[in-house]
């Protein structure tokens, strides 16, 4: 009887692939384990076993697997079930989900490296070809498959590598347990023989002539009166002000046992503080939440900025932990939330683990293993959207903080999932509860709450005596006309800045553009320098004295004369964060100013430094982009200034108004978070815009109702479902033909549900032209059928030879 497994390969293939296994392998393999398999002519991949069976594939001859990498599954059944939902809903492959989910240390593949098996020593067993490889590996630590193919001058080397693996000559440098090196910690323990006090006294008496050793032993017992605990060697030595030599002496006398154990790289402090007691309003809200969960699985916590949503999350987390459940805390952008992590650490200590793409591979593998192993360390996972794909076994609660944030949606590459929505599905797989928290919920979520699909709990006052900040709109048209401007700052904004400074308070200034000036143009001929790869103008960065493209990263040095007409008449239009800092520094030369935007936050710790500097008062004013709107809590900020609110309102997107409201409310929410009254000054050319009026009045509900009726009228979510199709190609002509073909095909299948083709706001990025289509499906229609039809069209499209190299991107819920 032949045995087979179906595996998930980390590539965009719709189908699972089938491989042959031996009886012995069958006895070792279970779904969720990793195997190395050959694919194509000479590729090797790490794949995950999905199931096993006895059905030989009909379309191809099943190949044997190369190697089993795990002793037990590294993914859970529930996880797999969740991946399957993501693949089906977002029209991508399981392999793409797997690639997004597995830290790459667990996902080693065809670029696979071959290394020498150190245990191999019998050269006499080798064939000529094998000997060549053996020799090569004496000089080079590792070889790629293509190197091997060159050395033995053969194209297909799969069988050859297999043979070397069988002989034990080589190993694939793929297996987790070789690549992953745990960090070790040195520990000290008392030899059990000295638990007996007679033995101990005798030993101490004999030590009279070694005062340093006695001192170390005294300290050991001071930290650990019964002498039964295991201590970290370094802690002991520091406290005792002793040295390794002293410890070694006691180790040699077999008084102490000294040994190494792996520790998590992600060091957590053990010390925790008690929970804050909730205010009356908060307690009422918490009770509502708990009651809501009796009937609903999802609850929207709509709480104004600084109302103490985090404290409510903390109470809920604690209850989940008491029931021995795991908790997932999702954040829109983890790099920005050091403050929150510190707060949660103080409550939960080592049971909190952070999952973060900026962490090293080993650190991420450790979180993975802690979860798989149900250790105490990983009961609460805090992370950005990809933390959703971790191997949870027993989730009780998911918190999606700032649920309205756009960064929960992944746009590139697939899986193009929305973490909030995928979290709700994950919770239902685990029968867990979900809290969606926001001061400015997304229209869709609020709509679901209104329709009673989700429960709704409101928290409408700030904690303590804090009032919502007073928001003022400044009409830039008038202030320019009346000459009440100092560069970009209206007299009033400047006055308020000075007043806040003289009161020893701090200020946040917001401008949603980075760089110095977004447009450089020539006053003689009007030419604007553009990116050679993208259809956008270049942004001037003064510090680097260069022109940069914010879409592809292209940059060129600024020349003083216009490239087109040669005149030295280049001038800037508009302004970004860099220019604001420069202008402000001229007006207030003594005041230290910080800047937080994409350009100043590239390093691993740069956010933290900027935030620390501001928190400690080393900087008095912080200028930044929308990064400033996310969850920062500075008690000393009393003034927030928005330099120009207009461009975001005019962005061509059906959510532009909703987003502007959210962004402005959130930025405003950074002001006056402690008792002193906060102020916000918004400069705009259009102070009568309804969104700005609503921001000013903190009128979320009014904004919601108005936007909702517009969405209904123009058929946008939540009244329809959107699927966006993007075609991309380097050749505009091919792209044109492709979009014509697709338009016809869509018209036949989807009739008037299909819109397009249309040009995106930037028709070319990185030398790829793009066309977009929008499919609008009624809410009550079975979406699966439409998606199936769409995938069939995609297959037909890609089967046409002219369109083979066109990128066909499907983006479900593309907003």
Site map 754..783 versus ligand ADP, x via CB under 6 A: ------------------------------
Residues 326 and 328: their CA atoms lie apart, in Å, by: 7
- Single out the segment in contact with Zn ion by CB under 5 A; choices: 270-278, 458-466, 550-558, 601-609: 550-558
Question: What are the residue ranges of helices labelled H in 521-650?
Answer: 577-587, 606-615, 646-649
Residues 341 and 401: their CA atoms lie apart, in Å, by: 13
Least separation in angstroms between CB 766 and Zn ion: 7
The binder of 554, among Zn ion, ligand ADP, none, by C-beta within 5 to 8 A per type, is Zn ion
Q: Which is nearer to ligand ADP, 303 or 415 (CB)?
A: 303
Q: Which is nearer to ligand ADP, 318 or 484 (CB)?
A: 318
The binder of 579, among ligand ADP, Zn ion, none, by C-beta within 5 to 8 A per type, is none
Half-sphere exposure for 328 (CA within 13 Å, toward CB): 32
DSSP string, 73-86: -SS-HHHHHHHHHH
Least separation in angstroms between CB 598 and Zn ion: 15
Tell me the torsion sign for CA atoms 587, 588, 592, 596: negative
Q: Judged by CB under 6 A, does residue 658 bind ligand ADP?
A: no
Least separation in angstroms between CB 298 and ligand ADP: 19
Structure tokens at 117: 């098996």
Q: Are 704 and 446 in contact (CB under 8 A)?
A: yes
Total of residues contacting Zn ion (CB under 5 A): 7
Residues from 626 through 645 that contact ligand ADP (CB under 6 A)? 633
Least separation in angstroms between CB 703 and ligand ADP: 19
Least separation in angstroms between CB 589 and ligand ADP: 33
Least separation in angstroms between CB 767 and Zn ion: 9
Residues 10 and 144: their CA atoms lie apart, in Å, by: 19
Q: Which is nearer to Zn ion, 203 or 551 (CB)?
A: 551
Q: Judged by CB under 6 A, does residue 307 bind ligand ADP?
A: yes
> In degrees, to the nearest 5, what angle opens at C-alpha 406 toward C-alphas 366 and 313?
60
Q: For residue 242, which phi and psi values (nearest 5 degrees)? A: -115, -175
Pairing of strands 570-573, 519-522: antiparallel
Residues from 427 through 486 that contact ligand ADP (CB under 6 A)? 463
Site map 263..282 versus ligand ADP, x via CB under 6 A: -------------x-xx--x
Q: Are 572 and 516 in contact (CB under 8 A)?
A: yes
- Measuring CA to CA, which residue among 402, 163, 191, 233 is closest to residue 302? 402
- Measuring CA to CA, which residue among 353, 356, 347 is closest to residue 373? 353
445 by DSSP, 3-state: which?
helix
The one among 308, 678, 756, 757 contacting ligand ADP by CB under 6 A: 308
Q: Judged by CB under 5 A, does residue 531 bind Zn ion?
A: yes
The binder of 533, among Zn ion, ligand ADP, none, by C-beta within 5 to 8 A per type, is Zn ion
Helix axes 211-223, 244-252, angle to 10 degrees: 90
> In degrees, to the nearest 5, what angle opens at C-alpha 225 toward C-alphas 224 and 228?
60
The binder of 531, among Zn ion, ligand ADP, none, by C-beta within 5 to 8 A per type, is Zn ion
Total of residues contacting ligand ADP (CB under 6 A): 15
Site map 553..582 versus Zn ion, x via CB under 5 A: -x----------------------------
Pairing of strands 807-812, 720-729: antiparallel
- Single out the segment in contact with Zn ion by CB under 5 A; choices: 407-415, 552-560, 561-569, 655-663: 552-560
Q: Judged by CB under 5 A, does residue 534 bind Zn ion?
A: yes
Q: Which is nearer to ligand ADP, 458 or 813 (CB)?
A: 458
Structure tokens at 157: 């080397």
The binder of 534, among Zn ion, ligand ADP, none, by C-beta within 5 to 8 A per type, is Zn ion
Cis peptide leading into 766, omega within 30 of 0? no
Q: Judged by CB under 5 A, does residue 115 bind Zn ion?
A: no
Q: Judged by CB under 6 A, does residue 350 bind ligand ADP?
A: no
Q: Judged by CB under 6 A, does residue 309 bind ligand ADP?
A: yes
Least separation in angstroms between CB 314 and ligand ADP: 9
The one among 551, 654, 685, 808 contacting Zn ion by CB under 5 A: 551
- Single out the segment in contact with ligand ADP by CB under 6 A; choices: 236-244, 299-307, 364-372, 539-547: 299-307
How far lies 659's CA from each of 443, 512, 612, 651, 654, in Å?
Answer: 10, 13, 28, 10, 9
Q: Which is nearer to Zn ion, 554 or 654 (CB)?
A: 554
Q: Which is nearer to ligand ADP, 28 or 460 (CB)?
A: 460
Q: Which is nearer to ligand ADP, 280 or 295 (CB)?
A: 280
Q: Which is nearer to ligand ADP, 96 or 461 (CB)?
A: 461
Burial category of 179 from C-beta neighbours within 10 Å (exposed 0-12, middle 13-18, buried 19 and up)? middle
The one among 311, 366, 403, 444 contacting ligand ADP by CB under 6 A: 311
Pairing of strands 231-232, 183-190: antiparallel
Q: Judged by CB under 5 A, does residue 547 bind Zn ion?
A: no
Least separation in angstroms between CB 286 and ligand ADP: 10
Q: Judged by CB under 6 A, does residue 344 bind ligand ADP?
A: no
Residues 715 and 726: their CA atoms lie apart, in Å, by: 20
Q: Are 693 and 467 in contact (CB under 8 A)?
A: no
Strand partners, 803: none
Q: Which is nearer to Zn ion, 319 or 556 (CB)?
A: 556
Q: Are 622 and 670 in contact (CB under 8 A)?
A: no
- Measuring CA to CA, which residue among 732, 734, 757, 763 is closest to residue 745? 757
Least separation in angstroms between CB 576 and Zn ion: 17
Least separation in angstroms between CB 679 and ligand ADP: 18
Phi/psi class of residue 431: alpha, beta or left (left: φ > 0; alpha: ψ in -120 to 50)? left
Q: Which is nearer to Zn ion, 12 or 761 (CB)?
A: 761
The one among 18, 46, 213, 310 contacting ligand ADP by CB under 6 A: 310
Q: Are 106 and 176 in contact (CB under 8 A)?
A: yes
Residues 431 and 670: their CA atoms lie apart, in Å, by: 36
The binder of 305, among ligand ADP, Zn ion, none, by C-beta within 5 to 8 A per type, is ligand ADP
Q: Which is nearer to ligand ADP, 174 or 401 (CB)?
A: 401
Residues 660 and 692: their CA atoms lie apart, in Å, by: 9
Q: Which is nearer to ligand ADP, 272 or 585 (CB)?
A: 272
Q: Which is nearer to ligand ADP, 233 or 435 (CB)?
A: 435
Outline where DSSP puts E strands in 668-752.
Answer: 679-684, 720-729
Residues 398 and 420: their CA atoms lie apart, in Å, by: 10
The one among 549, 596, 735, 754 contacting Zn ion by CB under 5 A: 549
Q: Which is nearer to Zn ion, 576 or 594 (CB)?
A: 576
The one among 306, 379, 521, 666 contacting ligand ADP by CB under 6 A: 306
DSSP string, 735-755: HHHHHHHHHHHHHHHHGGGEE
Q: How many CB atoms lie within 10 A of CB 547?
A: 22
Q: Judged by CB under 5 A, does residue 533 bind Zn ion?
A: yes
Torsion of CA 666, 668, 670, 674, to 10 degrees: -130
Binding footprint of ligand ADP on the chain (CB under 6 A):
276, 278-279, 282, 303, 305-311, 463, 633, 673
Binding footprint of Zn ion on the chain (CB under 5 A):
531, 533-534, 549, 551-552, 554
């Amino acid at each position: 009887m032949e045995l087979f497994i179906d595996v998930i390969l980390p590539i965009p293939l719709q189908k699972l692939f089938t491989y042959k296994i031996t009886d012995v392998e069958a006895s070792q393999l279970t779904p969720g384990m990793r195997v190395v398999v050959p694919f194509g002519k000479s590729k090797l991949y790490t794949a995950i076993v999905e199931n096993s069976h006895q059905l030989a594939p009909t379309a191809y001859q099943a190949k044997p697997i190369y190697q089993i990498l795990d002793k037990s599954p590294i993914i859970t059944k529930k996880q797999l079930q969740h991946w399957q939902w993501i693949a089906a809903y977002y029209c991508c492959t399981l392999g793409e989900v797997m690639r997004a989910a597995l830290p790459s240390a667990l996902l080693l593949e065809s670029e696979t490296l071959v290394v020498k098996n150190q245990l191999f020593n019998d050269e006499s067993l080798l064939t000529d070809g094998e000997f060549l490889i053996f020799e090569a590996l004496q000089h080079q630590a590792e070889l790629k498959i293509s190197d091997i193919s060159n050395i033995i001058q053969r194209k297909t080397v799969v069988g050859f590598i297999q043979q070397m693996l069988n002989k034990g000559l080589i190993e694939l440098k793929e297996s987790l347990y070789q690549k992953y090196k745990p960090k070790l910690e040195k520990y000290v323990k008392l030899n059990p023989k000295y638990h007996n006090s007679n033995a101990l006294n005798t030993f101490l008496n004999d030590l009279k002539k070694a005062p340093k050793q006695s001192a170390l032993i005294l300290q050991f017992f001071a930290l650990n009166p019964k002498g039964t605990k295991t201590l970290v060697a370094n802690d002991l030595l520091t406290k005792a002000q002793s040295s390794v030599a002293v410890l070694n002496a006691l180790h040699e006398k077999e008084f102490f046992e000294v040994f190494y154990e792996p520790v998590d790289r992600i060091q957590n402090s053990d010390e925790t503080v008690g929970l804050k007691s909730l205010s009356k309003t908060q307690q009422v809200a918490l009770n509502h939440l708990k009651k809501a969960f009796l009937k609903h699985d999802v609850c929207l916590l709509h709480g104004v900025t600084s109302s103490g949503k985090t404290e409510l999350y903390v109470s809920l987390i604690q209850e989940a932990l008491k029931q021995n459940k795991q908790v997932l805390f999702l954040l829109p952008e983890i790099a920005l939330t050091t403050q929150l992590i510190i707060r949660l650490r103080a409550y939960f200590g080592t049971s909190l683990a952070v999952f973060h793409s900026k962490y090293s591979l080993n650190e991420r593998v450790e979180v993975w293993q802690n979860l798989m192993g149900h250790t105490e360390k990983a009961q609460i996972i805090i992370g950005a959207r990809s933390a959703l794909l971790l191997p949870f076994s027993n989730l009780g609660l998911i918190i999606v903080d700032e649920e309205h944030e756009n960064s929960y949606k992944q746009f590139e590459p697939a899986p193009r999932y929305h973490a909030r929505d995928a979290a709700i599905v994950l919770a239902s797989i685990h029968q867990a509860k979900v809290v969606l928290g926001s001061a400015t919920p997304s229209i869709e979520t609020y709509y679901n709450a209104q329709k009673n699909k989700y429960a709704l709990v409101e928290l409408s006052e700030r904690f303590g005596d804090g009032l919502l900040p007073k928001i003022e709109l400044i009409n830039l048209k008038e202030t320019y006309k009346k000459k009440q401007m100092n560069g970009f700052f209206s007299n009033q904004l400047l006055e308020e800045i000075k007043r806040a400074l003289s009161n020893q308070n701090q200020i946040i200034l917001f401008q949603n553009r980075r760089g110095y000036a977004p447009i450089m143009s020539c006053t003689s001929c009007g030419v604007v320098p553009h990116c050679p790869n993208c259809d956008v103008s270049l942004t001037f960065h003064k510090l680097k004295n260069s022109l940069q493209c914010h879409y592809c990263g292209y940059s060129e040095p600024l020349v003083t004369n216009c490239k087109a007409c040669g005149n030295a008449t280049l001038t800037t239009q508009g302004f970004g964060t860099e220019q604001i800092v420069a202008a402000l520094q001229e007006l207030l030369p003594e005041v230290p100013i910080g800047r937080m935007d994409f350009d100043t936050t590239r390093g691993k710790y740069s956010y933290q430094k900027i935030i620390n500097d501001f928190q400690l008062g080393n900087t008095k004013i912080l200028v930044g982009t929308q990064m400033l709107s996310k969850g920062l809590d500075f008690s000393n900020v009393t003034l927030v200034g928005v330099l120009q609110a207009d461009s975001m309102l005019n962005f061509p997107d059906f959510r532009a108004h909703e987003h502007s409201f959210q962004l402005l409310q959130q930025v405003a929410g950074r002001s006056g978070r402690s008792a002193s009254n906060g102020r916000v000054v918004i400069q705009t050319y259009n102070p009568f815009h309804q969104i700005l009026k609503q921001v000013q009045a903190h009128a979320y509900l009014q904004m919601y109702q108005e936007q909702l009726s517009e969405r209904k009228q123009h058929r946008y979510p939540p009244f329809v479902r959107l699927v966006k199709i993007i075609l991309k190609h380097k050749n505009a002509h091919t792209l044109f033909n492709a979009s014509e073909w697709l338009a016809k095909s869509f018209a036949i299948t989807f009739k008037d549900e299909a819109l397009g083709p249309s040009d995106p706001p930037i028709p070319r990025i990185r030398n790829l032209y793009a066309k977009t289509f929008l499919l609008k499906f009624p809410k009550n229609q079975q979406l699966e059928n439409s998606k199936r039809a769409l995938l069939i069209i995609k297959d037909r499209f890609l089967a046409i030879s002219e369109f083979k190299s066109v990128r066909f991107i499907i983006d479900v819920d593309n907003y």
